[in-house]
Amino acid sequence: MWEYTDKVKEHFLNPRNAGEVEGANAVGEVGSMACGDALKLTLKVDEKGKIEDAKFQTFGCASAIASASALTEMLKGKSVDEAEKITNQEIADYLGGLPKEKMHCSVLGRQALESALSNYRGEAPKKQEGKIVCECFGITDKEIEKAVRENNLTTVEEVTNYTKAGGGCESCHDAIRELIAKVREEEAPAKRPALSNVQKIKMIEETLEREIRPALQQDGGDIELVDVIGNRVLVASRGACAVCKASELTLTHFVEAKLREMVWPELTVEEVPQ
């Protein structure tokens, strides 16, 4: 059972502003039944740009319902400009926090708000920007980058908690890792200068020696660096690795992940015949 705050429970059991505002002039709809949660937000904004009324309709779990209820309470009486600034973290804070696995419920609220406000301004419903990274939940690279940037996320697990991306078949985890690295680089351009080829090869060799080969040797395996071409790291398996059926998994899950972590996030590891 999830540990919800009393405020989440209270908003779930007695949701405020459930339903649809009549004569709404700002409508935002996000999510889908297939995803497991969906939110439709209807607002009435007066001539002066103040939000007179706000209602929600939610398909989702207790925290999705509570987040939507909280959002409508936060919106009422605010100007459109003020509403614009509400972040998903503020929705979560209003409820005394959400379990980390449920942060995507607050993100859903923020997305519905954005969608409603652009509808109010008469903008065409935003076409999905970017390309889909997570096929299971239809999450794009832009959405992932945004969540990473706004919430300072550093791991795939955190991205899943906030956006759901990567929570299904998990085949997009590498792509998410790359997006995290990309945002991190933007944020701290000075920290990580591009590596020269010589530096890169040296760091790869060091990481192999220090981190990777000792672990493989424990299982009777080994690995040898053959060449580095751009971001392609060519290796040859030795010992038990050369005959192990699972060595392909080891290469991607362990060797590549380690090299990406320690050396350069865009490295790919390929095995070459001995």
Partner 1 sequence: MKTIYMDNNATTRVAPEVLETMLPFLTDRYGNPSSAYSFGGEVARDIRRARERVAGLLGASPDEIVFTSCGSESDNTAIMSALNTGKGKMHIVTTRVEHPAVKVLCGELTKRGVRVTEIPVDREGRLDMDRYRESLTPDTAIVSMMWANNETGVIFPLEEAAGLAKERGILFHTDAVQAVGKIPIDLGHSAIDMLSLSGHKLHAPKGVGVLYVRKKTKFAPFLIGGHQERGRRGGTENTASIIGLGRACELAADRMEEENTRVRELRDRLEKGLLGRIPHSRVNGGGAPRLPNTTNISFEFVEGEAILLLMDEYGICASSGSACTSGSLQPSHVLRAMGVPFTMAHGSVRLSLCVYNTDEEVDEVIDRLPAIIEKLRAFSPFWKPEGQACASGT
Bin 167: left if φ > 0, else alpha if -120 < ψ < 50, else beta.
Answer: alpha
Cα–Cα distances in Å, from 204 out to 194, 207, 213, 265, 268? 14, 5, 12, 12, 12
Catalytic position from the list 61, 105, 136, 244: 105
The residues near 9 (Cβ < 8 Å, ≥ 6 apart) are 62, 66
Contact (CB, 8 A) for 225 and 235: yes
Chain centroid, CA 113 distance in Å? 19
User: Which residue of 168, 174, 211, 222 would you call a contact of partner 1, by CB under 8 A?
Assistant: 168
In this chain, which stretch among 25-33, 143-151, 174-182, 220-228 interacts with partner 1, using CB under 8 A?
Answer: 25-33
| Residue 128 interacting with partner 1 (CB under 8 A) | no
In this chain, which stretch among 79-87, 151-159, 202-210, 238-246 interacts with partner 1, using CB under 8 A?
Answer: 238-246
Q: Nearest approach, Cβ of 49 to partner 1 (angstroms)?
A: 26
Is 172 a known active-site residue?
A: no
How far is the C-alpha of 274 from the C-alpha of 271, rounded, in Å? Answer: 9
Is 136 a known active-site residue?
A: no
Q: Nearest approach, Cβ of 199 to partner 1 (angstroms)?
A: 33
Q: Nearest approach, Cβ of 65 to partner 1 (angstroms)?
A: 6
Contact (CB, 8 A) for 27 and 40: yes
| Residue 43 interacting with partner 1 (CB under 8 A) | no
The letter for the amino acid at 64 is A
Of the two residues 199 and 249, which places its CB atom closer to partner 1 in the complex?
A: 249
| Residue 164 interacting with partner 1 (CB under 8 A) | yes
Residue 98, SS3 per DSSP: coil
Q: Which residues of this chain interact with partner 1, rule CB under 8 A?
A: 2, 9, 12-13, 15, 18-19, 29, 32-34, 36-40, 56-62, 64-65, 101-102, 136-137, 160, 164, 167-168, 244-246, 249
